Chain A
């Protein structure tokens, strides 16, 4: 299963949308327009987009604290995402979630967890629901190499295998959990081997190669839809920026400047794919058109986000409950400070 005609340019478009969104986000962060944390996915675009493109529109997904790439990879509109990182009313989560929690339900994202490993059981449950309801929806679960050490990973993979749930566990293995390398935190650093312990296939792919990720994911989607159960895919990738924007880590460096530079130079997933597309006969003009379109979409998103108002303080309790009980917000009247 390979990326077909239209998908090939779409893969390029979505990777570029992630890259430009993140770059613009970092600029806005510097300009004090974005509060809180900002974890960028620059360098990891192929792992995200390759996996997302293997899904149907009605398939579900969960993500992580490094949350911006996932909805964009699944095709989300940029405006409400940019507004969300700025904490605006027009944000996809109405300013309640922010940078680490970009849940865009319109593209099937049920949540992004800033609790490392927190989303893995949710994805498993989402797949369980599809199984119980007898629909052929698949769930894609993103997590990092660090999350593999959480108990949730082990317990979820066991249940998914036991009940042959239609879920794909996709590890964006960028080699580090903040400052902690794989070697410092994994008794078995070959993460895909862990799948064997749960009776499911474990596949390692080059996460900088969008086609390779797509192929592995498409294969896993086929298995899942056919009722054959879960797959663990480990996409080896790299984070080009610091763990989160502006984070300064004192003490001994945990990765060398040379290592980072070499990845940026030789392993940039977007540059690698651009070369492939040119070799396959897609001309500069078509690529240029995509690049312009993406630049325009990001510009528009910033415009939308800047113009969107801040949420009004009196809306603070909104969205707490689906059906509030009478009197529930007399306690929120802690707001009025008695």
Chain B
């Protein structure tokens, strides 16, 4: 068993097993080491895995804020305009609504409205806590809402290596980037390059599994039941190609088209609510740009247009499950 220090120590050129959450922390740590302008702010940072950061960087780089999302988000934006590169941790994605005025009316617009006179290099972390009876005020997945805002980049990777590489890109990026991580992915382990310059470009999708019969695009936490479904289908001889967009804005249209050119069939799985979600956008893109490639109608699986209930009996099947995914894929064949 490796200690945390061993796990987190960089050795260029090698890989190391770590969880999604450790990879996310390591990305922040390395970028804070690399660039002293990077600061982290949010509420009770140590509660959500940040105590190692506090130990290492001290209170001038890590700021525990009062409960004032609308304002500390705006402060982060002001600081970004004036020379820092803040990471604002909003913890629960549901709290991004409180910060949304500053994110939308200020961070996303000011560069454009000043004719490019200023830059806003800032990262907003929003974690989706979609299971575990959090009830509706703590369980949102609001990425579609922010996708409708010009001027924001949005990432939502699903593996340890991807969160590390994309988080580093986000911190190095000169524009506002929203990171939608998913609590359900935190404990997932994977091989992560230890090279401190392991970055993954924003805007590039990844093929998580090659296949030839059906293309399945899985968003964020939906990757978990998707992989289970794909394994079950493989046993029946059905070969599914799984694509993780990793970046939700901009979406990698070419990756989707390349895959559908091969399979002719498409299922999109996500935990967002049904109306105007990322699936809706992908369907529109495919209808406009790749209609000829499709042999069958596209299917979308999502959460229904209902708030997340508290009771486990109602929450149980709220998001697409392995069985829903298996059934959808079968319907297309």
A96 CA / B307 CA spacing, docked (Å): 9
Q: Is A56 an interface residue (CB 8 A)?
A: no
Do A178 and B44 touch across chains, with their CB atoms under 8 A apart?
yes
Do A114 and B44 touch across chains, with their CB atoms under 8 A apart?
no
Q: Is B3 an interface residue (CB 8 A)?
A: no
Q: Is B135 an interface residue (CB 8 A)?
A: yes
In the complex, how many angstroms separate the beta carbon of B269 from the nearest chain A beta carbon?
A: 10
Pick the contact of A36: B55, B310, B317 (CB < 8 A): B310
Q: Is B13 an interface residue (CB 8 A)?
A: no
Q: Contacts A95-B309, A149-B68, A332-B306 hold; do A37 and B314 have CB atoms under 8 A apart?
A: no
Pick the contact of B311: A113, A311, A320, A331 (CB < 8 A): A311
Do B304 and A115 touch across chains, with their CB atoms under 8 A apart?
no
- B94 to chain A: which residues have CB within 8 Å? 115
Nearest B residue (CB) for A101: B135
Pick the contact of A338: B44, B69, B133, B299 (CB < 8 A): B299
A151 CA / B72 CA spacing, docked (Å): 11
- B44 to chain A: which residues have CB within 8 Å? 177-180
Q: Is B302 an interface residue (CB 8 A)?
A: yes
A249 CA / B45 CA spacing, docked (Å): 11
A146 CA / B328 CA spacing, docked (Å): 46
Do B320 and A337 touch across chains, with their CB atoms under 8 A apart?
yes
- B187 to chain A: which residues have CB within 8 Å? none
Do B311 and A180 touch across chains, with their CB atoms under 8 A apart?
no
Q: How many residues from B make CB contacts under 8 Å with A? A: 50
Do B46 and A93 touch across chains, with their CB atoms under 8 A apart?
no
Q: Is B305 an interface residue (CB 8 A)?
A: yes
A interface, by DSSP: helix, strand, loop or mixed?
loop
In the complex, how many angstroms separate the beta carbon of B97 from the nearest chain A beta carbon?
A: 8
Chain B residues within 8 Å of A, Cβ to Cβ: 43-44, 46-47, 51, 54-55, 64-71, 94-95, 98, 132-138, 274-275, 299-307, 309-314, 316-318, 320, 324, 327-328, 331
10 more A-B contacts (CB under 8 A) besides A36-B132, A337-B301?
A: A36-B310, A87-B314, A93-B310, A118-B137, A178-B44, A180-B66, A184-B64, A250-B46, A313-B313, A335-B304
Chain A residues within 8 Å of B, Cβ to Cβ: 35-37, 87-88, 91, 93, 95-101, 113-118, 146-147, 149-151, 177-180, 184-186, 247, 249-252, 310-313, 315-317, 320, 328, 331-335, 337-338
